[in-house]
């Protein structure tokens, strides 16, 4: 099986390189005789959705440090988002603000990547190198992004500008435990046409060392049967039809194989999981003085095969999802903007674990209006969303948010929203155990933030503090059902509340730069009601929801060299609903170094990292050990932009 995968990987890589060369040559010899001013159109939907909410953007320095890592690692180090990691190459999902992964929207250029069967997406399968912009939107956004956007949204965006010339880039990386990765990218940016091609491969033996504290005789152990192999291709085209219209077409193909380990020295794992996806999207954008419009469509195919030959489990599943959306923005007055949007989505699942193929469809209408007052010191956004589901019903949702510039350097934000999550296909139809009578999770969320930012000479400050409260009713929980088979039921009411702070100080002078930052989160997410008999979860913290998390860093840079020291702390994570069992808090340190060599035609970047510097023994999820001290290193080579001489 390994030889076949390797052969397929080599074929995939060669074909992708041929594709890169094709685009390189075609762009180099192309003629371009039209000169138009570059047009940049940002997503108005994202801008409106983020009014009144706390947001975080991953800056370019951080993205450069984590170019060989996944989105899970980027967020885990640089935000208050708690990542539920099953170990290197294993499942990685979000769990911030007391919610779970199915209550978080993961958006690629505005398209939700949540699997329709599972209701979540695996961040370990998403390389950071693919995306130009990575951002986090905290707080409920169901009116903007639909089902699942209850606790927040993660935005992965591609940004392609016109008339930037020809740029190519190669990344090579290696690390402990037989880890190897590589990626290549070619950007062809002309005055009216842009092509971006990216390919990546990431594989590892993943046989790391860890300490088993429960085994008194042999604590030092090595992970086995846990190799993984990820690869993919992303192709994007962008066409400037005229100064008011842009068309873009994107394709993202990925295939991933994982050998899933067992944590018993006497057994060899025969469990494998393959995750494949084909994601195709198209956008048309029109921008005018009084009217803007966006029409987008997407077609996603997600396949998950799970094989456990020892237990004779051969599970195959596939979902086909079609999405269509039309957004319209009317600038009726300088002080307010009306937006109207319609959205249609249909997902069809094929698996032997359903009695037959099942479809879940929805159609929605969004109405919103942005107001500005007091010479744009106060911005208010009000929206409402009405939605139709093929299974079940849902009332109208919406939100009211505002931002106000209190003083020159102080901003205040507030948001109130009604949020919801529609049951997934697995929750409705899984056999045995599915429950077609499930109601949507729904509730209310409120949040506010104060932030202070100022620059004094070479010194810059940013301080923010936020508070939130969210009550969700009809919380879906899998409980033992008939014949011991788990079944989902609307059984809980959960109250999540907490605070977050962010402190950043940076100093720049001449060729030197120094910075530090601390991000903290305090979360109480407790069960307020539970209809299950003999349940001891009332007023208890949700499992795997740490009350305290702290992420800090200290950075130092001189000319083309950057050194960053990271410190992560996570508090107790309860592993049972009665809070009688827990995982010990952990604190992990990491060190990352980048150095750029600016040569005549290329820029070479050398990279090195030491993870878990002090050899801490810890687990994020029960029974899933994490590596002791380990290393990463690599280099990237990027050509400087090449532009053809202007034609007349």
Model pLDDT, residue 265: 57
Give the tens place of pLDDT for each residue, 405-456.
999 999 999 999 999 999 999 999 999 899 999 999 999 999 999 999 999 9
Element (H, E) at 566: strand 561-570
pLDDT at 221 > cutoff 60: yes
139: DSSP letter:
S
**Under a CB-based contact definition with an 8 Å cutoff, are residues 53 and 467 in contact?**
no
- What average pLDDT is seen over the chain? 89
Q: Is 357 left (phi over 0), alpha (psi -120 to 50) or beta?
A: beta
Q: Is 87 left (phi over 0), alpha (psi -120 to 50) or beta?
A: left
What's the rounded Cα separation, in Å, for the pair 301 and 277? 6
What's the rounded Cα separation, in Å, for the pair 406 and 378? 9
**Under a CB-based contact definition with an 8 Å cutoff, are residues 421 and 440 in contact?**
yes
pTM summary value: 0.91
Question: Which spans in 231-333 are helix H?
Answer: none
Pairing mode, strands 336-351 and 358-373: antiparallel
Q: Which of 294, 352, 345 is nearest to 321 (CA)?
A: 345
Residues 6+ apart with CB under 8 A from 312: none
> Read out DSSP for 355-379?
SS-EEEEEEEEEEEEEEEETTTTEE
> What percentage of the chain's residues is helix, strand, coil (to nearest 5)?
10, 55, 30
Binned at pLDDT 50, 70 and 90, residue 16 comes out as: very low
Evaluate the CA torsion angle 381, 382, 386, 392 in order and state its sign: positive
Evaluate the CA torsion angle 101, 104, 106, 112 in order and state its sign: positive
Kindly report the backbone phi and psi dihedral angles of residue 623, in degrees, each rounded to the nearest multiple of 5, phi listed first: 75, 5
**Under a CB-based contact definition with an 8 Å cutoff, are residues 368 and 381 in contact?**
yes
For the chain, the structural domain boundaries read 2-28+41-639
Q: Is 63 helix (H, G, I), strand (E, B) or coil?
A: helix
Average pLDDT over residues 70-90: 94
| Gyration radius from the chain CA atoms | 25
Q: Which of 472, 415, 475, 414 is nearest to 444 (CA)?
A: 472
Model pLDDT, residue 616: 95
**Under a CB-based contact definition with an 8 Å cutoff, are residues 148 and 103 in contact?**
yes
Tokens standing for 541?
């913290």
Burial of 504 (0-12, 13-18, 19+ CB in 10 A): middle
Model pLDDT, residue 126: 95
Residue bearing the bigger pLDDT, 191 or 334: 191
**Under a CB-based contact definition with an 8 Å cutoff, are residues 330 and 48 in contact?**
no
Model pLDDT, residue 312: 87
Kindly report the backbone phi and psi dihedral angles of residue 355, in degrees, each rounded to the nearest multiple of 5, phi listed first: -70, -25
Beta bridge partners of 321: 300, 347
Q: Is 169 helix (H, G, I), strand (E, B) or coil?
A: strand
So what CATH class is 2-28+41-639?
mainly beta
pLDDT at 7 > cutoff 70: no
Give the tens place of pLDDT for each residue, 36-67.
444 444 447 889 999 999 999 998 888 888 98
Element (H, E) at 592: strand 586-598
127: DSSP letter:
B
Give the tens place of pLDDT for each residue, 125-161.
999 999 999 999 999 989 999 998 999 999 999 998 9
What's the rounded Cα separation, in Å, for the pair 360 and 362? 7
Residues 6+ apart with CB under 8 A from 625: 87, 210, 211, 212, 223, 263, 619
Q: Which of 245, 140, 142 is nearest to 192 (CA)?
A: 245
Kindly report the backbone phi and psi dihedral angles of residue 174, in degrees, each rounded to the nearest multiple of 5, phi listed first: -145, 165
**Under a CB-based contact definition with an 8 Å cutoff, are residues 627 and 619 in contact?**
no
CA distances from 377 to 327, 358, 448, 516 (A): 26, 50, 17, 30
**Under a CB-based contact definition with an 8 Å cutoff, are residues 496 and 541 in contact?**
no
Kindly report the backbone phi and psi dihedral angles of residue 77, in degrees, each rounded to the nearest multiple of 5, phi listed first: -85, -30
Burial of 599 (0-12, 13-18, 19+ CB in 10 A): exposed
Residue whose pair of structure tokens reads 């992965």 in the numeric block: 156
Q: Is 7 left (phi over 0), alpha (psi -120 to 50) or beta?
A: alpha
Give the tens place of pLDDT for each residue, 341-396.
999 999 999 999 999 999 999 999 999 999 999 988 999 999 999 988 888 777 78
User: In the chain, what is the straight-line distance between the N-terminal and C-terminal CA atoms, in Å?
Assistant: 57
What's the rounded Cα separation, in Å, for the pair 474 and 490? 5
**Under a CB-based contact definition with an 8 Å cutoff, are residues 374 and 354 in contact?**
no
pLDDT at 648 > cutoff 50: no
Element (H, E) at 108: strand 104-108
Average pLDDT over residues 600-622: 94
Compute how many other C-beta atoms are within 10 angstroms of the C-beta atom of residue 404.
16
Kindly report the backbone phi and psi dihedral angles of residue 266, in degrees, each rounded to the nearest multiple of 5, phi listed first: -85, 0
Strands (E), 261-357: 271-287, 291-308, 313-333, 336-351
pLDDT at 2 > cutoff 60: no
């Amino acid at each position: 099986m390994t030889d076949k995968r390797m052969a397929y990987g080599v074929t995939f890589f060669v074909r992708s390189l041929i594709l890169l060369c094709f685009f390189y040559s075609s762009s180099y010899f192309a003629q371009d005789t039209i000169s138009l001013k570059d047009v940049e159109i940002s997503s108005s939907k994202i801008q409106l959705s983020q009014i009144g909410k706390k947001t975080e953007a991953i800056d370019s320095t951080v993205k450069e440090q984590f170019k060989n890592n996944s989105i899970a690692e980027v967020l885990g180090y640089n935000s208050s988002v708690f990542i539920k990691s099953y170990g290197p190459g294993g499942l990685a999902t979000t769990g911030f603000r007391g919610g779970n992964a199915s209550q978080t929207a993961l958006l690629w250029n505005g398209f939700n990547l949540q699997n329709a069967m599972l209701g979540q997406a695996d961040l370990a399968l998403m390389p950071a190198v693919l995306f130009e912009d990575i951002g986090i939107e905290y707080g409920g956004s169901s009116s903007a992004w639909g089902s699942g956007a209850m606790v927040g949204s993660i935005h992965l965006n591609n940004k392609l500008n016109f008339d930037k010339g020809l740029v190519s880039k190669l990344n090579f990386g290696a690390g402990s435990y037989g880890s190897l990765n590589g990626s290549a990218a070619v950007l062809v940016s002309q005055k009216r046409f842009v092509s971006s091609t990216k390919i990546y491969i990431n594989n590892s033996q993943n046989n790391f060392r860890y300490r088993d504290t429960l085994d008194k005789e042999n604590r030092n152990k090595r992970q086995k049967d846990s190799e993984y192999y990820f690869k993919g291709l992303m192709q994007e085209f962008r066409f400037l039809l005229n100064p008011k219209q842009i068309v873009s077409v994107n394709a993202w193909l990925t295939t991933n194989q994982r050998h899933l380990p067992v944590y018993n020295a006497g057994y060899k794992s025969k469990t494998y999981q393959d995750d494949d996806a084909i994601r195709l999207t198209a956008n048309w954008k029109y921008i005018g003085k009084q009217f803007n419009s966006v029409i987008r469509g997407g077609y996603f195919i997600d396949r998950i095969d799970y094989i456990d030959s020892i237990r004779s489990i051969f599970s195959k599943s596939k979902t086909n999802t079609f999405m269509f959306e039309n957004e319209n923005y009317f600038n009726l007055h300088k002080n307010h903007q009306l937006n109207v949007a319609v959205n249609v989505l249909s997902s069809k699942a094929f698996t032997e674990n359903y009695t037959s193929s099942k479809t879940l469809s929805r159609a929605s209408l969004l109405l919103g209006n942005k107001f500005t007052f007091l010479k744009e010191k106060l911005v208010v956004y009000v929206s409402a969303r009405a939605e139709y589901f093929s299974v079940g019903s849902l009332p109208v949702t919406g939100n009211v948010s505002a931002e106000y510039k209190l003083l020159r350097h102080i901003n205040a934000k507030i948001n109130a929203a009604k949020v919801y999550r529609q049951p997934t296909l697995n929750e409705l139809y899984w056999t045995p155990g599915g429950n077609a009578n499930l109601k949507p999770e729904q509730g209310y969320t409120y949040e506010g933030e104060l932030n202070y930012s100022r620059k004094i000479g070479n010194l810059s400050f940013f301080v923010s503090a936020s508070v939130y409260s969210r009550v969700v009713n009809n919380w879906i929980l899998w409980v033992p059902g008939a014949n011991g088979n788990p079944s989902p039921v609307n059984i809980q009411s959960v109250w999540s509340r907490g605070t977050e702070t962010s402190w950043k100080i940076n100093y720049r002078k001449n060729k030197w730069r120094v910075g530090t930052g601390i991000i903290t989160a305090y979360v109480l997410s407790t069960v307020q009601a539970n209809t299950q008999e003999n349940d001891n979860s009332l007023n208890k913290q949700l499992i795997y929801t740490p009350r305290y998390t702290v992420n800090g860093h200290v950075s130092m840079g001189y000319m083309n060299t950057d050194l960053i020291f990271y410190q992560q702390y996570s508090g107790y994570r309860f592993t049972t609903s009665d809070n009688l069992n827990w995982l010990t808090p952990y604190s992990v340190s990491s060190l990352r170094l980048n150095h750029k060599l600016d040569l005549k035609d290329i820029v070479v970047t050398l990279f090195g990292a030491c993870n878990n510097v002090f050899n801490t023994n810890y687990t994020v999820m029960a029974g899933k050990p994490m590596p002791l001290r380990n290393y990463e290193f690599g280099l990237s080579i990027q050509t400087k932009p090449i532009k053809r001489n202007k034609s007349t």
